[in-house]
C-alpha cells in the first residue's frame, strides 16, 4: 500500500525510478491530504530521475550540512546554533525555494515581537543568509538567494575604561578574575583566549605567547608580545596548574563573564560594560599612547582594517600640527594692527585664509 497509518498519522511509501525505498510521514490524519502529499512527492522523484531536474531540498537539510561544514571552522558556532533554534519553528519543513522575502519578513517581525533588539534580529538573519547563500553558490541546491532586509542598527560607541576606572574595577574583582582582567588589559586577548590559555602557549624567557589559528576568531595564529604587566601576572600563576594558566581553587576557569564579575562592576560603579570591553579598553589605550593602527591590527589579530579604524578618533596627535596652522594664522591676523606695515601683512593673511 502507498499509504499506511502509524497511530492517527498517515505515512507514504513508494519506490523511486532508481529503486530507492521512500517512507515518510505525511504529518496529517487526513487521508486525502496524505494522498496528495504522496502523489506530489512521488512525482518529484520521477522528474528528478527522468527529466534531470534538481531535487528540492528542505531547510533542515541545509542546516544540517552547514553545521557539519562549519564544525571546527567558526568560533561563534554556538551563538549561531542559538539563532537557528529561534528560526526552527518558522522554517522547518519548508523547501529552500519556498523561503522568500515574505517568509523572512514574517520571521523578522516574529522576533521583534519577542522584544529583542534590531541587532539581535540581524545576527539571526545573517546566519539564515549564510546558509541560503551556501546552498546557492556551493551546493547548487538553490537557484537564487532571496534578498534579506536587515534592520537598521545604531552604531555602538566604543566602551572603554579610564585608568582610574580600571584600577577601581580590579580592586573589586576576586583574585582569580582580577588576574585574568589584568592580563586582558595587558594583551588585548578575547575572553575565550584568556580563559583557555595553556602554559604550552607561553614562553616567559622570550616574553611572548601565541594563540593557535584554530583558537582565533579570524582563524589566523596570533603572536602575543608580553609586556611587564602580563609577565607579572603569569609569574603569579606559575605552579597553580600543570596545563592551564588561569584557575580557581585548583581547577581551570571556564568563564570570566560571570556573576562575580557583574557584582564587582556594580561595586565599582561601572555601568554598561562587558568583559569584551576590556579588549576595547586595551585598544583605546594603545591608540591614545600613539600606537599606529596598522600595528594595533597585528597585535589584536584583526583581519579587517575597518575593525581597527573604530579606534582612530581616539588619537589626534597626527592632526595637531595642521590644526595649529589655522590657529597661528588667526593669531597673526588679530595682531597685525600692532605691527609695522600692518596693511600689507593683512592683505597677505587674507590671501592665506581665502
Told to judge if 276 belongs to the known catalytic residues of this protein, a careful annotator would answer: yes
Distances from the Cα of 346 to the Cα of 215, 322, 335, 353, angstroms? 64, 21, 10, 11
Alpha carbon distance 336, 349 (integer Å): 9
Across 29-39, average pLDDT: 90
At 156, is the pLDDT very low, low, confident or very high (cuts 50, 70, 90)?
Answer: low
- What pLDDT score was predicted for residue 70? 85
- What pLDDT score was predicted for residue 73? 64
* Range with the poorest average pLDDT among 35-44, 99-108, 306-315: 306-315
- What pLDDT score was predicted for residue 99? 94
Q: DSSP 3-state assignment of 244? A: strand
CA 268, 271, 273, 274 torsion: positive or negative?
A: positive
Highest mean pLDDT (candidates 147-151, 158-162, 342-346): 147-151
Which of these is catalytic: 262, 276, 309, 325? 276
Q: Give residue-wise pLDDT tens across range 231-269.
A: 999 999 999 999 999 999 999 998 898 999 999 999 999
- What pLDDT score was predicted for residue 88? 94
Which of these is catalytic: 10, 141, 261, 311? 311
Which of these is catalytic: 111, 190, 286, 310? 190
DSSP for 27-91, please give it. --S-HHHHHHHHHHHHHHHHHHHHH-PPPP-BHHHHHHHHHHHHTTT-TTHHHHHHHHHHHHHHH
Which of these is catalytic: 59, 261, 282, 302? 302
At 214, is the pLDDT very low, low, confident or very high (cuts 50, 70, 90)?
Answer: confident
Told to judge if 190 belongs to the known catalytic residues of this protein, a careful annotator would answer: yes
- What pLDDT score was predicted for residue 74? 60
At 159, is the pLDDT very low, low, confident or very high (cuts 50, 70, 90)?
Answer: confident
Told to judge if 27 belongs to the known catalytic residues of this protein, a careful annotator would answer: no
* Range with the poorest average pLDDT among 132-141, 165-174, 310-319: 310-319
Alpha carbon distance 251, 163 (integer Å): 31
Told to judge if 311 belongs to the known catalytic residues of this protein, a careful annotator would answer: yes
Q: Give residue-wise pLDDT tens across range 126-141.
A: 999 999 999 999 998 8
- What pLDDT score was predicted for residue 230? 96
Told to judge if 83 belongs to the known catalytic residues of this protein, a careful annotator would answer: no
More confident residue, 268 or 39: 268
Alpha carbon distance 337, 316 (integer Å): 33
Q: Give residue-wise pLDDT tens across range 275-303.
A: 999 999 999 999 888 888 888 888 888 87
Q: Give residue-wise pLDDT tens across range 69-119.
A: 888 666 677 889 999 999 999 999 899 999 999 999 999 999 999 999 898
Average per-residue pLDDT for the chain: 86
Task: Output the pTM of the full model.
Answer: 0.59
Which of these is catalytic: 182, 279, 280, 286? 279
Which of these is catalytic: 168, 217, 241, 274? 217
At 308, is the pLDDT very low, low, confident or very high (cuts 50, 70, 90)?
Answer: confident
Told to judge if 134 belongs to the known catalytic residues of this protein, a careful annotator would answer: no
Q: DSSP 3-state assignment of 100? A: coil
Residues 6+ apart with CB under 8 A from 224: 187, 189, 208, 209, 210, 211
Task: Kindly tell me if the per-residue pLDDT of 187 is higher than 60.
Answer: yes
- What pLDDT score was predicted for residue 77? 78
Percentage of the chain with pLDDT > 90?
54
- What pLDDT score was predicted for residue 335? 54
Amino acid at each position: 500500500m502507498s499509504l499506511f497509518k502509524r497511530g492517527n498519522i498517515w505515512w507514504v511509501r513508494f519506490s523511486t525510478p532508481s529503486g530507492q525505498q521512500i517512507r515518510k510521514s505525511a504529518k496529517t490524519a487526513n487521508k486525502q491530504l496524505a494522498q496528495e502529499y504522496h502523489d506530489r512527492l512521488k512525482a518529484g522523484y520521477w522528474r528528478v530521475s527522468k527529466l534531470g531536474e534538481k531535487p528540492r531540498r528542505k531547510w533542515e537539510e541545509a542546516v544540517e550540512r552547514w553545521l557539519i561544514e562549519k564544525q571546527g571552522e567558526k568560533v561563534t558556532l554556538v551563538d549561531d546554533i542559538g539563532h537557528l533554534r529561534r528560526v526552527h519553528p518558522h522554517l522547518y519543513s519548508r523547501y529552500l525555494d519556498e523561503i522568500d522575502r515574505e517568509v523572512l519578513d514574517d520571521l523578522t517581525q516574529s522576533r521583534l515581537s519577542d522584544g529583542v533588539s534590531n541587532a539581535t534580529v540581524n545576527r539571526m538573519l545573517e546566519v539564515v543568509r549564510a546558509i541560503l547563500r551556501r546552498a546557492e553558490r556551493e551546493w547548487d541546491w538553490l537557484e537564487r538567494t532571496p534578498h534579506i532586509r536587515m534592520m537598521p542598527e545604531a552604531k555602538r560607541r566604543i566602551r572603554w575604561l579610564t585608568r582610574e576606572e580600571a584600577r577601581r574595577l580590579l580592586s573589586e574583582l576576586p583574585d582569580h578574575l582580577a588576574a585574568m582582567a589584568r592580563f586582558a588589559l595587558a594583551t588585548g586577548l578575547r575572553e575565550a583566549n584568556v580563559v583557555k590559555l595553556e602554559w604550552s602557549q607561553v614562553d616567559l624567557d622570550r616574553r611572548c605567547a601565541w594563540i593557535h589559528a584554530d583558537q582565533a576568531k579570524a582563524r589566523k595564529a596570533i603572536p602575543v608580545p608580553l609586556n611587564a604587566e602580563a609577565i607579572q601576572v603569569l609569574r603569579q600563576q606559575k605552579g597553580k596548574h600543570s596545563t592551564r594558566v588561569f584557575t580557581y581553587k585548583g581547577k581551570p576557569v571556564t568563564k570570566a563573564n560571570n556573576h562575580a564579575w557583574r557584582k564587582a562592576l556594580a561595586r565599582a560603579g561601572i555601568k554598561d560594560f562587558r568583559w569584551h570591553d576590556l579588549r576595547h579598553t586595551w585598544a583605546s589605550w594603545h591608540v591614545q599612547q600613539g600606537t599606529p593602527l596598522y600595528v594595533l591590527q597585528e597585535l589584536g589579530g584583526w583581519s579587517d582594517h575597518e575593525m581597527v579604524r573604530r579606534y582612530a578618533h581616539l588619537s589626534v596627535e597626527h592632526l595637531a600640527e595642521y590644526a595649529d596652522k589655522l590657529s597661528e594664522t588667526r593669531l597673526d591676523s588679530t595682531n597685525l594692527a600692532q605691527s609695522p606695515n600692518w596693511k600689507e601683512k593683512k592683505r597677505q593673511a587674507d590671501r592665506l585664509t581665502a
